[in-house]
Amino acid sequence: MYRLFFLVAIVCMAGIGIRGQPTSPYIAELKQNYGFVKNNLLRLAEKMPEEHYVFKPAADIRSFGESIAHVADSQARSCSLVNGSSKTVDAESKKTKTDLLAALSASFAICDEAFDALTDAGASQMVRLGQSTRERSKLGLLAGVIGHSNEQYGYMAVYLRLKGIVPPSTEAMNQGR
């Protein structure tokens, strides 16, 4: 009797584990790419000294801090839509490195929830973009988050280089990762 109960328990636990995993390599790769950009952006924001958060390479573009705020607000907006809500981290109003890092981390928490919940079945579900009638699939919206975040990382990596700081992605390559 105990053997039968043990066998049934093992089968049930295995089924729970399998169901929670993405069934396609595409979803797994999307989640992996999100992990890369998340790591790079957090490390980038941490590496830039507080006094350089106001730095602008040119007068008509965002400062480093404003760029971090832009990423945080954009991610929170998109990922919360995927989660079925409308959250904001109000990063645009933040000015200090500490506050902007907190807003960026909060946006990643919202995105973690969206990416963790993404499955093959849910990837094609359509999401309404705010008050408009436009819709995008959850997969498309989350892929857009990665693309936009990588683009912004590329811009901000230049800010670090202009201040003599090696960007995290280059640092990782040089360490053989």
Tell me the pLDDT tens digit for each residue of 52-101.
999 999 999 999 999 999 999 999 999 999 999 989 999 999 999 999 99
Which tokens hold the place of 115? 């990416």
138 pLDDT exceeds 70? yes
Q: Average pLDDT in the 3-8 region? A: 34
Of the two residues 3 and 96, the one the predictor is more confident about is 96
Distance CA 106, CA 112 (A): 10
Domain 25-174 fold is: Four Helix Bundle (Hemerythrin (Met), subunit A) (1.20.120)
- What confidence score (pLDDT) does residue 3 get? 37
Length of the chain: 177
Give percent above pLDDT 70 in the chain. 86
- Cβ(65)–Cβ(56) below 8 Å: no
Share of the chain above pLDDT 90, in %: 78
Alpha-carbon gap, residue 102 to 11, rounded angstroms: 42
Backbone φ/ψ region at 129: left (φ over 0), alpha (ψ -120 to 50), beta = beta
Single pTM value for the model:
0.84
| CA dihedral of residues 91, 94, 68, 58 (deg, nearest 10) | 130
Q: How far apart are CA 113 and CA 110, in angstroms?
A: 5
